[in-house]
Amino acid sequence: MNAVAIENEAELAINPLSAHIGAEIGGVDLTRPLSSAQVSAIRAALLKWRVIFFREQFLSHEQHIAFSAQFGELTVGHPVFGHVDGHPEIYSISKFRKATRFAGQSVLRPWTGWHTDVTAAVNPPFASILRGVTIPPYGGDTQWTNLVIAYEKLSAPLRTFVDGLRGVHRFAPPQGASGTDAFTKAVTDHTLVSEHPLVRVHPETGERALYVSPGFLKHIAGLAPRESQVLLELLWEHVTRPEFSVRFKWEPGSIAFWDNRSTAHLAPTDIFDLDFDRQLYRTTLVGDVPVGPDGQKSVSIEGTPVGAAAAVALN
Ligand code: SIN
């Protein structure tokens, strides 16, 4: 860690990676139970930097689950795509898990693929913890963006306007998808639709975040279709601006831990132009129901809340 590392009671080395988002954390062994000072310092770093990274943490599935459980209750690996056999809490992020993801999208945009995890559910996971196992020697970086700074950098009149809006988030097959592949079938069988505030008040910090997950947010409630499309495109372009974001180069043993209440992220697609394999594993922590600046909560339109993995294990 270099000279800008920030001091804290738990003696973690916290090394910021950009002005607004991302810090690499050293001085801790995640294979072992953490002290309460370490848990507090990591949680504080997560709230401040939105996504935090650890290097050379070679965790087993069990250690990944144990580390995650120190920060909240684990969800089932993925509410639509399931989990790793024998580990209801772990979701496998393999290279070809969603090869057909953009199949129906004839026009790719700069924000295509950016998303916040499972925002089509009424209670999206509050955090995600992704562990790199098989990593290409080059390519395959992940990017995150800070939705709080994105909100704060809007003009005051636009902030006031979006404060009162709500958006419909939908997890459904892409337009034009054939309906026969495993991805399309899983999504068809587990369709999730929820209406969330367009501006989410962070339950721990009180900050406002522009809650506009491009992959799931389909339209703004109450606006005409063209109004909704143009406003969403403006907001999606805005939230994915490079100065609000950070890009992470994975190594085997890297961990990324992010706050889904204040970030969106982009999985890489350049890996499909390379022959290298890529395998990561993810856990997610049970989230609450978002609340807007007016105190109104999100509502579920279709599907069920994202439950704890423990409930799946009992069934
Ligand atoms: C994810 O979207 O959670 C996965 C990100 C990645 O594959 O880098």
What residue ranges do the domains of the chain occupy? 5-314
Dist. CA 170–CA 175, nearest whole Å: 12
Which CATH number fits the domain 5-314, given the four candidates 3.20.20.80, 3.40.50.1100, 3.60.130.10, 3.40.190.10? 3.60.130.10
For a substitution probing ligand 1, which of 265, 276, 281 has the most ligand atoms within 8 Å of its CB?
265
For a substitution probing ligand 1, which of 78, 116, 117, 130 has the most ligand atoms within 8 Å of its CB?
130
CB of 264 sitting under 6 A from ligand 1 = no
Question: What is the number of the ligand 1 atom nearest to the C-alpha of 278?
Answer: 7
CB of 45 sitting under 6 A from ligand 1 = no
60 within 8 A of 293, measured Cβ to Cβ? no
Q: Which two tokens stand for residue 295?
A: 């105190």
Atom 2, ligand 1: residue with shortest CA distance: 267
Q: Which two tokens stand for residue 276?
A: 């290298």
Question: What is the number of the ligand 1 atom nearest to the C-alpha of 250?
Answer: 8
CB of 127 sitting under 6 A from ligand 1 = no
What percentage of residues in the chain have a pLDDT greater than 90?
80
pLDDT at 309: 85
pLDDT digits (tens, 9 = 90+) for 245-300: 999 999 999 999 999 999 999 999 999 999 999 999 999 999 999 999 999 999 99
Indicate the pTM of the whole model.
Answer: 0.93
Instruction: Give catalytic status of residue 238 as yes or no.
Output: no
Residues facing residue 62 across a β-bridge: none
pLDDT at 148: 98
Comparing C-alpha atoms, which of 127, 173, 150, 169 is closest to residue 242?
Answer: 150
Please compute the mean of the pLDDT values over residues 142-156 and round it to a whole number: 98
Please compute the mean of the pLDDT values over residues 292-313 and round it to a whole number: 87
Q: Of the residues 115, 190, 196, 261, which is catalytic?
A: 115
Dist. CA 61–CA 129, nearest whole Å: 12
Cα distances from 55 to residues 24, 25, 26, 29, 199, in angstroms, run 8, 8, 7, 10, 33
Question: What is the number of the ligand 1 atom nearest to the C-alpha of 280?
Answer: 7
pLDDT above 70: residue 106: no
Q: What share of the chain is helix, strand, coil (3-state, %, to 5)?
A: 25, 25, 50
CB of 142 sitting under 6 A from ligand 1 = yes
Q: Which two tokens stand for residue 236?
A: 């999606």
Please compute the mean of the pLDDT values over residues 27-38 and round it to a whole number: 97
Instruction: Give catalytic status of residue 87 as yes or no.
Output: no
**Ligand 1 centre from 90 Cα, in Å?**
13
**Ligand 1 centre from 269 Cα, in Å?**
10
pLDDT at 103: 53
Instruction: Give catalytic status of residue 115 as yes or no.
Output: yes
Question: What is the number of the ligand 1 atom nearest to the C-alpha of 141?
Answer: 8
212 within 8 A of 236, measured Cβ to Cβ? yes
pLDDT at 32: 97
Comparing C-alpha atoms, which of 12, 49, 51 is closest to residue 260?
Answer: 51
pLDDT digits (tens, 9 = 90+) for 73-98: 999 988 888 899 999 999 999 987 76
For a substitution probing ligand 1, which of 142, 248, 255, 272 has the most ligand atoms within 8 Å of its CB?
142
